[in-house]
Chains A and B, each alone.
Chain A
């Protein structure tokens, strides 16, 4: 019984290999619209700020804080986002994990708004 199945499969596969019509129907035609890839002209600061904004957004979502305005440099962590000192520590650890660097306690205590964090990260990374 199995021998028959194997034989049939083999036949079908061979048929696919041999017959050009069959292959044309299953294999999509090669896309002839050539696309060009340009190297991105994103600066280091933009990269850092995009990454940081993503981290802060996910952090806010996890916390359940509703903040609909765009995240700007002047955004104050304790007043606008209403984060306490423990939340700030959590945010700092999330940033450390993402950027793979160490932020010492004195530096993390001095963070008051997003701009300061961005400045620190662009200097470090």
Chain B
């Protein structure tokens, strides 16, 4: 297996936080949060070059901010985002 670089590790760590966040939501709405988090990551999977560091860093910051709003405990139903 190829060793992961720093940005890839950061991305995986962020994805882990997203998936963990979905487990804190009510069971009937978890799939919505999961679907959305997957979409965020998988949409960019083939469109961004591996060496386009500035874009990846920007997206990581963007994702972290988005995660904060998703982690809000009042955000249960998903339609607020």
Contact = CB atoms under 8 A, between A and B. Distances in A.
A93 interface: yes
B53 interface: no
Contacts of B41: 86
Interface in B19-68: 19-20, 23, 38, 41-42
B19 A93 contact: yes
A86 B38 CA distance: 9
A99 to B, nearest CB: 13
A92 interface: yes
B73 interface: no
Interface string B5-27: 00011001101100110010000
Interface residues of A, number: 12
Interface residues of B, number: 14
Given A78-B1, A86-B41, A86-B42, A105 B12 contact: yes
A89 interface: yes
B12 to A, nearest CB: 5
B4 interface: yes
Given A85-B12, A105-B9, A90 B19 contact: yes
Given A86-B41, A89-B19, 16 more contacts: A85-B4, A85-B12, A86-B15, A86-B42, A89-B12, A89-B15, A89-B16, A90-B19, A92-B16, A93-B16, A93-B19, A93-B23, A96-B20, A109-B4, A109-B9, A112-B1
Interface of B: 1, 4, 8-9, 12-13, 15-16, 19-20, 23, 38, 41-42
Interface of A: 78, 85-86, 89-90, 92-93, 96-97, 105, 109, 112
24 contacts: A78-B1, A85-B8, A85-B12, A86-B12, A86-B15, A86-B38, A86-B41, A86-B42, A89-B12, A89-B15, A89-B16, A89-B19, A90-B19, A92-B16, A93-B16, A93-B19, A93-B20, A96-B20, A97-B23, A105-B13, A105-B16, A109-B4, A109-B9, A112-B1
